[in-house]
Amino acid sequence: MVSVGVLSEAFCLVLEQEAGSVSEASLEVITELYGRVGRQGRPLVGIGCGEQPTAEFALLGEYGLDLVLLFPVPAGWATVLRRRMKTYLDRQWPPVLVAPATLWGEEVVLGLASELDVPAFSNCMQLETVENGAVRVERLFYEEKIAVRYTLAPGSPLLATLAVGLTNVRRRRPGHRAEVVCVPDTGRLPADPVTVLGRIKADPRTMDLEEADVIVCGGRGLGSAENFALLAKLADMLGAAVGGTRVARDNGWITAERQIGQTGKVVKPELLLSFGVSGATQHTIGLRDSRRIVAVNKDKNAPMMKLADVAIVADAREVIVELIRRLEAAGAGLGRRAARQN
Amino acid sequence: MLAVVLLKKAVFLSESALRPQPVQGLLATRRPFIGAHDLAALHHALSLREQAAVSRVAAITAGGSEADVILCQAYALGADEVFRVPWEGDAGLTDASPVGRVLAGVLAGLPAGVVFCGHLSPDSGRGLVPYVVAQSLGWPLVTRAVKVQMTPDLPHLRIHRDVGRGNREVVECPLPAVVTAVRYPSGWRYPKCARLLAFRRRNVPTLSPPSSPGMPSEKRWLADMEMTRARPRPKKIFTPDENLSAAERMKMIVSGGLKAKKGKVVDGSGADAASKVYEVLVECGYAPK
Amino acid sequence: MMFPRLFTPLTIKGVTIRNRIIATGHLTHFASTDGLVTQRLIDYHVARAKGGIGLIITESMAIHPSTAQSQYTIRLYDRQVLPGLRELTSQIKAYGAAVFCQLHHMGREMTSVDTMRPVVAPSALMDPLKREVPHELSKAEIRELVEAYATCTAHAREAGYDGVEVHCAHGYLIQEFLSPLTNHREDEYGGSFEGRLRFAREVIRAVKGAAGQMVVGIRIDGDEFVDGGLSLEDVQEIVVALVAEGLDYVGLSVGHDLNYPPIFPSMDFPLGCFVYLASAIKRLVDVPVYTSHRINDPALAERILEEGHADLVAMTRATLADPELPNKAKEGDVDGIRPCVGCLQRCFHRLRLRAPISCLGNPAVGREREFAPLPASQPRKVAVVGGGPAGLEAARVLALRRHHVVLFEQEEELGGMLRLAARVPHRDELMGIARWQILQLKRLGVEVRLGQRASAKDLAPFDAVVLATGAEYGPPSLVVSEQVPHYNTLEALELGEAEVAGKTILVVDRDYHNKALGLAERLAQMGAQVVVATEEAEVGVDLDLVNKMMIWERLRELGVKSISKARFEGANGEDVLVVHEGWERVLRGVGAVVVVDKPKANTLLAREMESQFPEKAVYLAGNCAAPRLTPEAIFDGYRIALEI
């Protein structure tokens, strides 16, 4: 059992939450820190947003967290979280407080640093503890040409964000569970003067495929440029981006920057609809991280079908035509408008 | 109302790939320039002036007289006034937070309604200064602006923020406020030759904070600072789990880390199959019921 | 520029490599049996240097009389090779590429056939591939070998090399010392980590001592992929220790005698699948690191550099397939690059056959002089009949030589047999070569008449005719049981899931290459119980070792069984009696038999032409001349196109 009292010697990290779960970037930071902390024997504490001690937070123990502190703040409200953290941690400030170098992590850490008047180091490449227990961070300067290593003086707190996309996430302690503690609500905070009016979704037709949330992807099975035009129409109605395989590119059905695969773009959409794609490894490795895949293909044994959450054995063109008809019946282009507004 | 743009004298190191140099040699090649984010900040301020939302635009930089180059560019691009805040320290490497406080002290003495600055500088990119400025002035901070407009009725700014993956968030912010910019919305501004020449005839006025409390350097928190040639870390890459046996590792590599999913397999005609796809779309919220 | 990082020069210890594309040391069998450099070897490397490659590491060279990879290994210990090597290095450097020399001792992973001496190794443990028990090196012999490395380094220096690479990979002598699996010594050269590292250290010190201004690097396996062997973490430790000795670069590789396929990864391996090994080393060391294995596309190479996994990218087989790859990539002509599809049929397999290397897609490998496609002195009208690999290649090279070419194809799609070959699992990349040929035909403006079956009359107006009409599968050459349906290869490919699932299917291999195994995999994936039988000593007997090992691994998982040396001695309805080396076995409930025969040449049109236009210049290319494999078809097409 770890108690909240360990905070004064703990490594703390601010967890980023995306769509209700802890983001990959946060897991990377846990993995990165666990390797360092493991040697020093210091506990690793995560700071998250939530009302209930859910199992998901306890499961972070597998990656190396010992304790999770949950603040009753809606996920994504960096300003509120950092005010709550400041009140709560004032008595026992942790020697190390880091976050993933994302929009969220930056707002929490840099905001805290400016309020506390301590230095903050954003986008650090590395964090390590040296012989005498002092903490050292490494940052790159001058367009990544020069590295500066800062060793903190004893007693100085470290606030930093760690660069993401560098560490392979690992479950180093299978079966281990973190203790989850809910921090009580400490009363009302003054209202944030900045009001959020809404969000505008990126235009899928022009955005980088790597950033798209929904992708419709076509391959050899679609067979012609006309069918790709249909695919583009479907994409437009769904607010999706169009991607394709190498065959599609060779035939001029898509342009090079729309090719998915190892020699094209590596994508990670929430939903990928794949039409007439057989699934050569070169292509499928490029969509390994898609959350949900629906594949439509005539050949049931195509490798793509084995990677799909829903595999549909049918003629791709027919399915596209039918889908367009249904979407039109449900209100033409509604999907797109809905996407723009939410 | 005055819009102030904080410009950083960013440093560019010019090195030939054929002749790599040690750190000191590399640092000797530094040249000052304005970073892309700072240019975007200047652009936002100037476009507010063009919309008649602010009357004047002042550009401020911190540094010695060598930083005048930056102000010259800002002047040529259209800033009405330029000021330099004398500063000796190295803002990039250690003193982001003291320089932020000094700038805030100067700003407090100006009739500034809105302060723009670049989100990150291209050379150090710590991004701390806008936070410190906003905190010291007690003003709200809006980061990563890509589009800034004045609302017609209230003295509020309506700002589009880049929140990643190409998405934008629209916020409204009362004035005075600090806004950081990430990129140029569209178009391009060119420095005007006449203004470049006019700048030469001017003395750059300097501004100091009314009471100079002697900002303590960030170095007091540091035990040591060491500079080396950077060795960028490789990005993460698919690596088979080291706990697996050799044969299992090999199998993971051959499969490309792709695992066959035990997904539903549905046979069907066009209409039939389409309804299955449609179900998924509804489930994920991309199509109406 | 499309690939800015790929074409940023890199300087290693004063040697400037003009771009990041390199060729690793690879045996070519172009040297003479005396281990001397030949003009053919020089031409081969010069073609690559002309093609714009940054660095060539020439083939692994023997450092001592106790080692030889084959009869055609260059004997660096022998001063006789130096004049030839000097010519080789100066010619490569004349075209702007840097050139390194690979110092190599095979250890136990060789046969004494090539040296007529006992095979040597750190411990007297039999090599599982070559099945020879080596002589355990004495300390005096170890000292002799260390000196041999130094002597050969001096020879390399004399021969004008820019650097030397100590080969510590692929289970050869140095790796045998490093790995606890192969080093069971009890003296100071074995046991602990330090002990096992001692030989490598001594060698590198000796090489550094003799290298002078030359670059010194190593190539090492990133993971042994054998339980109990060196893991990635062990290799990280080893590399850090060796870099401390003053290495100037580190190259990563993978595969050795206990886990053979990754040495020469076939198309079963995803592109760039071993880059992570280099990435793991790159995190730890300051010296440049190169990665290799299945990197065949400049876009992939650029991505590897962009993500910082390596500083140099080895594209050895890719530059074998297309020596002009670097130049084409620099100009952004990506579609013009002939791809390496990882088939292994003519690079790796020909080495195993003790023949000089060639390439499935590039017949000019090793024939750079005589196979240069020079423009024809008299452009002629040429018809090519058949759009398979042979016809496509003939049409491509003819058009390149400025002949006026018309290609007839009776189907609606080009590709011929390759289209069939690509339909079995894990072979889809084979189509890549046809894809490239088709793209070239489009660029060269060749007139392609699809869906048109050419008759002798259609061909009459042409000055010359290349027939590439392919081959056909006749009725099965064997009937196992009268009551069971028999299919030939083509019919078996068309079998649907409904006809196959749950059935026991006997596949008889009379083709001896990949086809029976590939079909077996396809049928097993569709849910059939598959037994592969052959009269030969093993199924797929002519298939190269790597592909064979990889497909058997998959077939085993699918529950496919095999019977070699099989004689079919009778059948009773669905029960088939098979005899294997005297053992009798009844296969019960055989629902279908697939007989994979060699196809029969389709010579109909050739005979028609002979009877109607005996004077006309008619050439036969590919399977219609004699049924063989894709590389021969492409070779035929290329050769004939040069003859017209």
> Is residue B256 predicted with pLDDT exceeding 90?
no
Q: How far is A95 from C315, CA to CA, in rounded Å?
A: 48
Render pLDDT for C185-218 as a digit per residue (tens, 0 to 9): 999 999 999 999 999 999 999 999 999 999 999 9
pLDDT range class, residue A39, cuts 50, 70, 90? low
CA distance B204 to chain A (A): 27
Give domain limits for chain C: 10-352, 381-473+601-643, 486-598
Q: Which helix (H) or strand (E) holds B43?
A: helix B36-50
Nearest CB to A194 within list B96, B173, B264: B173
pLDDT range class, residue C146, cuts 50, 70, 90? very high
Higher pLDDT, B12 or C24: C24
Q: Give me the architecture of the C486-598 domain, per CATH.
A: 3-Layer(bba) Sandwich (3.50)
Pick the residue of A282, A284, A306 with the most C CBs within 10 A to test the interface with C by mutation: A282
**Contacts of C641 by beta carbon, 8 Å cutoff, 6+ apart:** C373, C393, C394, C395, C396, C397, C398, C400, C401, C466
Predicted local confidence at residue C148, as pLDDT: 97
Residues in chain A within 8 Å Cβ distance of B183: none
Render pLDDT for A95-141 as a digit per residue (tens, 0 to 9): 899 999 998 899 999 999 988 888 899 999 888 888 777 888 999 98
Render pLDDT for B211-244 as a digit per residue (tens, 0 to 9): 655 667 777 888 888 888 887 788 988 888 877 8
CA distance C302 to chain A (A): 9
Render pLDDT for A231-263 as a digit per residue (tens, 0 to 9): 999 998 888 999 999 889 888 899 888 999 888
Residues in chain A within 8 Å Cβ distance of B169: 196, 198-200
Q: Which helix (H) or strand (E) holds A67?
A: strand A67-71
**SS3 call for C21:** strand
Neighbours of A (≥3 Cβ pairs closer than 8 A)? B, C
Neighbours of C (≥3 Cβ pairs closer than 8 A)? A, B
Q: Are residues B255 and B123 in the same domain?
A: no
Q: What is the DSSP letter of B218?
A: G
pLDDT range class, residue B186, cuts 50, 70, 90? low
Pick the residue of C271, C273, C442, C550 with the most A CBs within 10 A to test the interface with A by mutation: C271
Whether residues C8 and B17 touch (CB distance < 8 A) is answered with yes
Q: Which helix (H) or strand (E) holds B91?
A: none
Residue in the block written with tokens 């392979």: A168
Whether residues C429 and A278 touch (CB distance < 8 A) is answered with no
Residues in chain B within 8 Å Cβ distance of C231: 242
Residue B248: closest C-alpha in chain C: C225
**Domain annotation covers residue B227:** no
Question: Both tokens of residue B42?
Answer: 């200047």
Is it true that C10-352 and C486-598 share their CATH fold? Answer: no
Whether residues A262 and C522 touch (CB distance < 8 A) is answered with no
Q: How far is B168 from B160, CA to CA, in rounded Å?
A: 6
Average pLDDT over chain A reads 85
Residues in chain A within 8 Å Cβ distance of B258: 281, 284-285, 288, 307
- The CATH number of domain C381-473+601-643, selected from 1.10.10.10, 3.40.50.720, 3.40.50.1370, 2.60.40.1190: 3.40.50.720
Q: How far is A217 from A261, CA to CA, in rounded Å?
A: 11
| pLDDT > 70 in chain C, percent | 100
Task: Give the active site residues of C.
Answer: 172
Domain with CATH 3.40.50.1220 in chain A: 209-341
pLDDT range class, residue A339, cuts 50, 70, 90? very low
Q: Are residues B285 and B150 in the same domain?
A: no
Distance of CA A16 to the CA centre of its chain: 8
Nearest CB to B234 within list C231, C233, C308: C308
Instruction: Please tell us whether the domain made up of A209-341 is placed in CATH 3.40.50.1220.
Output: yes
Q: Are residues B76 and B208 in the same domain?
A: yes
- The CATH code that applies to domain C10-352 is 3.20.20.70
> Is residue A186 predicted with pLDDT exceeding 90?
no
Q: Which residues of A70-79 are buried (b: 16+ CB within 10 A; e: fewer)?
A: bbbbebbbbb
Whether residues A114 and B268 touch (CB distance < 8 A) is answered with no
Q: How far is C540 from A164, CA to CA, in rounded Å?
A: 48
Q: How far is CA C315 from CA A306, A316, C41, C309, C342, in A?
A: 31, 37, 19, 15, 12
| pLDDT > 90 in chain C, percent | 92
Q: Are residues B85 and B42 in the same domain?
A: yes
**Domain annotation covers residue B226:** no
User: Closest Cα partner for C72 from C25, C29, C40?
Assistant: C29
Residue C224 forms contact with B (CB below 8 Å): yes
Q: Are residues B61 and B30 in the same domain?
A: yes
Predicted local confidence at residue A74, as pLDDT: 83
**SS3 call for C242:** helix
**Domain annotation covers residue B158:** yes
CA distance C303 to chain A (A): 8
**Domain annotation covers residue B68:** yes
Neighbours of B (≥3 Cβ pairs closer than 8 A)? A, C
> Is residue A190 predicted with pLDDT exceeding 60?
yes
Torsion of CA C251, C256, C259, C264, to 10 degrees: 70
Q: What is the CATH number of the domain that holds B75?
A: 3.40.50.620
Residue B232 forms contact with C (CB below 8 Å): yes
Pick the residue of A138, A203, A310, A336 with the most B CBs within 10 A to test the interface with B by mutation: A310
**SS3 call for C588:** coil
**Contacts of A73 by beta carbon, 8 Å cutoff, 6+ apart:** A49, A80, A81, A84
Whether residues A263 and C271 touch (CB distance < 8 A) is answered with yes
Q: Are residues B158 and B285 in the same domain?
A: no
- Please report the number of interchain residue pairs, chain A to chain C, with beta-carbon separation below 8 angstroms: 33
> Is residue C257 predicted with pLDDT exceeding 80?
yes
Q: For chain C, positions 262-301, list CB contacts with chain B under 8 A.
A: 262, 268-270, 273-276, 279-280, 282-283, 286
Predicted local confidence at residue A206, as pLDDT: 77
Render pLDDT for C342-352 as a digit per residue (tens, 0 to 9): 999 999 999 99
CA distance A236 to chain C (A): 29
What total of structural domains would you count in chain B? 2
Q: Are residues B37 and B162 in the same domain?
A: yes
Per the CB < 8 A criterion, the answer to whether B57 and B47 are in contact is no
Residues in chain B within 8 Å Cβ distance of C16: 18
pLDDT range class, residue C609, cuts 50, 70, 90? very high
For range C94-110, the mean pLDDT: 96
Q: How far is C24 from C314, CA to CA, in rounded Å?
A: 6
Nearest CB to C273 within list B232, B234, B256: B256
Per the CB < 8 A criterion, the answer to whether B89 and B97 are in contact is no
Whether residues B234 and C309 touch (CB distance < 8 A) is answered with yes
Residue B97: closest C-alpha in chain A: A119
Predicted local confidence at residue C375, as pLDDT: 93
Q: Are residues B101 and B34 in the same domain?
A: yes
* DSSP β-bridge partners for residue C256: C259
Structural domain including B277 reads 233-289
Q: Can you list the alpha helix ranges (DSSP code H) found in chain A?
A: 24-40, 55-59, 78-89, 103-116, 225-238, 246-250, 281-284, 303-307, 316-329, 334-341
CA distance C54 to chain A (A): 21
Q: Are residues B213 and B123 in the same domain?
A: yes
CA distance A96 to chain B (A): 13
Residues in chain A: 342
CA distance A146 to chain B (A): 4
Residues in chain C within 8 Å Cβ distance of A250: 335, 435, 439
Nearest CB to A262 within list C272, C439, C522: C272
Residues in chain C within 8 Å Cβ distance of B18: 9, 11, 16
Whether residues B245 and C309 touch (CB distance < 8 A) is answered with no
User: Closest Cα partner for C524 from C458, C594, C573?
Assistant: C594
Residue C525: closest C-alpha in chain A: A301
Average pLDDT over chain C reads 94
> Is residue C8 predicted with pLDDT exceeding 90?
yes
Residues in chain B within 8 Å Cβ distance of C279: 234, 237, 239
Whether residues B18 and C11 touch (CB distance < 8 A) is answered with yes
Lowest pLDDT segment from A28-42, B112-126, C603-617: A28-42
Q: Are residues B279 and B149 in the same domain?
A: no
CA distance A181 to chain B (A): 30
- Is ipTM strictly over 0.85? yes
Residues in chain C within 8 Å Cβ distance of A311: none
Q: How far is B143 from B131, CA to CA, in rounded Å?
A: 9
> Is residue C180 predicted with pLDDT exceeding 60?
yes
Q: Give me the architecture of the A4-182 domain, per CATH.
A: 3-Layer(aba) Sandwich (3.40)
Residue B254: closest C-alpha in chain A: A281
Predicted local confidence at residue B223, as pLDDT: 85
Phi, psi dihedral angles at B227 (to 5 degrees): -115, 135
Q: Are residues B31 and B128 in the same domain?
A: yes
For range A19-42, the mean pLDDT: 81
Render pLDDT for A138-179 as a digit per residue (tens, 0 to 9): 999 888 888 999 998 888 889 999 999 888 888 888 888 999
Residues in chain A within 8 Å Cβ distance of B272: 314
Higher pLDDT, C125 or A281: C125
Whether residues C297 and A263 touch (CB distance < 8 A) is answered with yes
Residues in chain B within 8 Å Cβ distance of A313: 265-268, 273
Per the CB < 8 A criterion, the answer to whether C547 and C577 are in contact is no
Q: Which residues of A47-66 are buried (b: 16+ CB within 10 A; e: fewer)?
A: bbbbeebeeebbbbbbbbbb
> Is residue C535 predicted with pLDDT exceeding 70?
yes
CA distance B237 to chain C (A): 6
Counting Cβ atoms within 10 Å, is residue C105 exposed (0-12), middle (13-18) or buried (19+)? Answer: buried
Kindly list the residues of chain C whose beta carbon comes within 8 Å of any beta carbon in chain A. Answer: 270-272, 297, 299-300, 303, 335, 425, 428-429, 435, 439, 497, 522, 525-526
Pick the residue of A114, A170, A196 with the most B CBs within 10 A to test the interface with B by mutation: A114
Radius of gyration over alpha carbons of chain B, in Å?
A: 26
Q: Are residues B168 and B197 in the same domain?
A: yes
